[in-house]
C-alpha cells in the first residue's frame, strides 16, 4: 500500500485525493446521499465515479475522496458504499483498508512534530480525528 501511495504522489506531485482521482480518470461528483452514507465508488460502462455526500464538512469530503480512491486502487472490480458507523452495517476488511489508505495518503511524508499529538498531526493534514485508529 505504501509503495502504491508513494508512486501516486510522485506521479501527480501531490497527495491531494481530488487531483489524483481526476488524474487517473475518476469522475468526482457531490450529491445528497441521505443519512448514513458518506460516499461511494462505482464503475459504469468502464467509467469510474466517486460520489461524496454534499453535506459533509470539507475535511470529511477530502477524507471520503481519499477513502474511495483507496477502493479504486486496492479493490478493483468492487462497487463500495461507505456507511456510517451508526448503521447496522459491519465495517469490514475492505473498509478498514480503504480508511488506512486514506490516512496514509493524506499524511504521506509527514510525521508528528516535537510535542505534537497524533490528533494534532491528523488535524494539520485535514484528517478527521475519528480516523486516528487507521494511522498505524
Distance CA 33, CA 46 (A): 23
Distance CA 133, CA 120 (A): 14
Look at residue 87 and tell me whether its pLDDT is greater than 60.
no
pTM to 2 decimal places: 0.86
Share of the chain above pLDDT 90, in %: 48
| Residues 48/26, Cβ–Cβ less than 8 Å | yes
The boundaries of the domain holding residue 112 are: 2-134
Burial of residue 50 (number of CB atoms within 10 Å: 0-12, 13-18, 19+): buried
Distance CA 132, CA 77 (A): 28
Q: How many CB atoms lie under 10 A from the CB of residue 24?
A: 14
Question: What is the model's pLDDT at position 44?
Answer: 84
Per residue in 11-53, pLDDT (tens digit) is 999 999 999 999 999 999 999 988 888 998 888 888 999 999 9
Question: What is the model's pLDDT at position 113?
Answer: 82
Q: What is the CATH number of the domain that holds 52?
A: 1.10.10
Per residue in 59-83, pLDDT (tens digit) is 999 999 999 999 999 877 665 554 4
CA-wise closest residue to 6 among 15, 134, 31, 49: 15
What is the full DSSP assignment across 83-132?
E-TTSS----HHHHHHHHHHHHHHTTT--PPTT--HHHHHHHTT--GGGG
Distance CA 104, CA 125 (A): 10
- Domain total of the chain: 1
Judged by average pLDDT, the poorest of 8-12, 73-77, 114-118 is 73-77
Tell me how far apart the terminal alpha carbons of the chain are, to the nearest angstrom. Answer: 13
CA angle 21, 23, 4 (to 5 degrees): 65
Better pLDDT: 47 or 129: 47
Question: What is the model's pLDDT at position 79?
Answer: 57
The pLDDT of 107-113, averaged and rounded, is 84
**DSSP letter assigned to residue 129:** G
Amino acid at each position: 500500500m505504501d509503495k502504491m501511495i508513494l508512486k501516486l504522489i510522485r506521479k501527480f506531485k501531490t497527495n491531494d485525493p481530488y487531483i489524483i482521482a481526476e488524474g487517473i480518470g475518476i469522475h468526482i461528483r457531490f450529491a445528497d446521499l441521505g443519512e448514513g452514507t458518506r460516499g461511494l465508488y462505482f464503475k459504469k460502462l468502464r467509467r469510474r465515479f466517486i460520489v461524496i455526500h454534499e453535506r459533509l464538512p470539507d475535511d470529511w469530503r477530502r477524507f471520503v475522496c481519499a477513502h474511495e480512491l483507496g477502493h479504486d486502487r486496492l479493490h478493483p472490480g468492487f462497487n463500495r458504499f461507505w456507511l456510517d458507523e451508526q448503521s447496522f452495517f459491519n465495517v469490514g476488511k475492505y473498509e478498514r483498508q480503504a480508511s488506512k489508505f486514506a490516512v496514509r495518503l493524506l499524511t504521506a511524508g509527514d510525521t508528528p512534530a516535537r510535542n505534537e499529538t497524533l490528533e494534532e498531526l491528523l488535524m494539520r493534514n485535514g484528517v478527521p480525528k475519528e480516523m486516528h485508529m487507521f494511522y498505524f
